[in-house]
Amino acid sequence: MLLSGSIFLITFIVLIIDKIPRTIVAITGAVSMLVFGVMDIKEAMTYVSWETIGLLFGMFSLVAMLSEAGFFQFLALWVAEKLDYKAAAIFIVFPLLSAFLAAFIDSITVMLFLVSLTYEICHVVKMNPIPLVVAEVCGANIGGAATLVGDPPNVILGTMLGFTFNDFATHTAPIAIIGALISIALFYMKEKKNIAESQKGRVASQETAALRPSDKITDKYLLKVGLTGFFVAIILLTSHTFLEHAVGVKISVAEAALIPAIIAILCGGHKTHDIIHRIDIDVLLFFIALFVIVGGLEKTHVIKFLADSMVSISGGNPYILLAFLLFGAGYTSGVVDNVPLALTMGVILKDISQTSSMLALPIMVWALALGVDIGGNITPIGASANVVAYSSMEKFGSKVGWGRWIGLAFWPTTIVLIVSYALILLKLHIGWY
């Protein structure tokens, strides 16, 4: 127990420090579990959720294809054009767009294209881009809580604990929608005066003419293939349980994403190499290594110890335990990577549900998912999307700083967490979970 716990703790601390690439850190931790005899490689592989890895690979592939085709850049500029480049409308709609997209594609991809386009558009409408980008990041992280594929923690919790796309869409999506609207409203009220100043100026037609949405589409054939594959994946993810019961065709969530992804890649033609190159293999290796590390904790009964400790600390009070899962995990994910946090906590929740009757597993999962997804908004390192946005803003010459980021994101995030907690308690009281 001491050895596995030490390896986990050291790995976690190094991940927090963020001076070494996280994939290397995680692989080192996983290898240490093998070298020091906590488990052998055969045992290690049994702790890896290949369902999670398959789902991530499939969705990453489809998103990579759409990104290669220029779809997301096109969509953002098309929306801005339809809004007639009005500063107030852009400030409200772009975070909503970020939240919507992040419910179906990874938030890193969302911020990679959205930050640069936001800076272009803000230059045209004479608006400070920093508050808008932070609002978009918060929107993306909150929106990611809405579905199984919206954020990596959800993928982990869903595939590991047996929750479907429809389960998340039914239980976390309504709360995420409310949270996103609240967050955007709070950001808008804070920046209302500055937005009004931007609104006074007239946008030159020659400047908007240079931002033609159609110019962003680089390959129409690839776009059609990617969109077809993506929609098929979403349809299969939402209907795979129905297909199993109605016609006897059993499709796992991993297969629901992998089948259309592989077909789409094979139809990619000369772009196949570029698509594969865009897939973030490092993230997949990171996940595999984390599963091995947490597997070491599970094998040596560290997880059971932590689960028993959580139940003991809560004093058998379900309200305290839910608060710990939502606020505790939420604020913790503001300073540590929410992926290893979600994975570790997910295994702990599984153990709690098996050894205690205090709370049903689903209600704990919804609280945890909302906590780690939303809480990551607080700091520039709370989630991968934050890191991408923060570094992109620095490249554009914006000196944001931790103080500015926290000043913008802390209260919207806290209020959304409070509202989420209230709605979770409501679900608990009416028995809808």
Domain boundaries, the chain: 2-46+71-216+280-430
Residue 383 dihedral angles phi and psi, to the nearest 5°:
-150, 160
Cβ atoms within 10 Å, residue 391 = 12
Our measurement of the distance from residue 99's CA atom to the centroid of its chain's CA atoms, rounded to an integer in Å, reads 10
Task: Tell me the pLDDT tens digit for each residue of 86-143.
Answer: 999 999 999 999 999 999 988 888 998 899 999 989 988 889 999 999 999 999 999 9
Q: What percent of the chain has a predicted confidence (pLDDT) above 90? A: 59
Handedness of CA 340, 107, 388, 420 (dihedral sign): negative
Q: How high is the pLDDT of residue 213? A: 87
DSSP 146: G
pTM of the full predicted structure?
0.88
CA separation, residue 366 to residues 182, 344, 361, 396 (Å): 19, 15, 9, 37
* pLDDT range class, residue 58, cuts 50, 70, 90: very high
Q: How high is the pLDDT of residue 202? A: 58
Kindly state the average pLDDT of the residues 299-328: 90
Task: Tell me the pLDDT tens digit for each residue of 232-253.
Answer: 999 999 887 777 777 777 888 8
Cα distance between residue 426 and residue 404, in whole Å = 34
* pLDDT range class, residue 203, cuts 50, 70, 90: low
Do residues 119 and 77 make contact, with C-beta atoms less than 8 angstroms apart? no
Q: Is the pLDDT of residue 198 over 90?
A: no
Q: Which two tokens stand for residue 192?
A: 């209302």
* pLDDT range class, residue 209, cuts 50, 70, 90: low
Q: How high is the pLDDT of residue 430? A: 94
Q: Is the pLDDT of residue 306 over 90?
A: no
* pLDDT range class, residue 21, cuts 50, 70, 90: confident
Task: Tell me the pLDDT tens digit for each residue of 358-391.
Answer: 899 999 999 999 999 999 899 988 888 898 899 8
